[in-house]
């Protein structure tokens, strides 16, 4: 699924940058999503007691890939 998402976004002209993240990186993020073959893309609404994650880009990403 990760490879599929990266390939599809790259083909649509969207730059994808991969790197290892720390817990601090995740806590500082505006949005987080998980992916797998069954659920495709799943927005993360809270992480490590932070509950203010947006889902604007995740919804756009899902629409680009699956609608």
What are the pLDDT digits (tens) for 8-29?
A: 889 989 899 888 999 999 888 8
CATH at residue 60:
3.20.10.10
| Per-residue pLDDT at 39 | 82
Number of domains in the chain: 1
Query: Does the pTM exceed 0.95?
Result: no
| Per-residue pLDDT at 64 | 84
| Per-residue pLDDT at 27 | 87
| Per-residue pLDDT at 20 | 92
pLDDT band for position 51 (cuts 50, 70, 90):
confident
CA distances from 28 to 8, 22, 59 (A): 26, 10, 20
- In 3D, which of 20, 19, 28, 21 has the Cα closest to residue 47? 28
State the residue range of the domain holding 52.
2-66
């Amino acid at each position: 699924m990760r490879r599929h998402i990266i390939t599809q976004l790259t083909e649509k002209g969207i730059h994808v940058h991969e790197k290892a993240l720390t817990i601090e990186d995740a806590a500082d993020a505006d949005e987080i999503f998980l992916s797998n073959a069954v659920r495709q893309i799943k927005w993360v609404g809270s992480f490590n007691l932070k509950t203010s994650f947006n889902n604007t880009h995740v919804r756009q990403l899902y629409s680009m890939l699956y609608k």
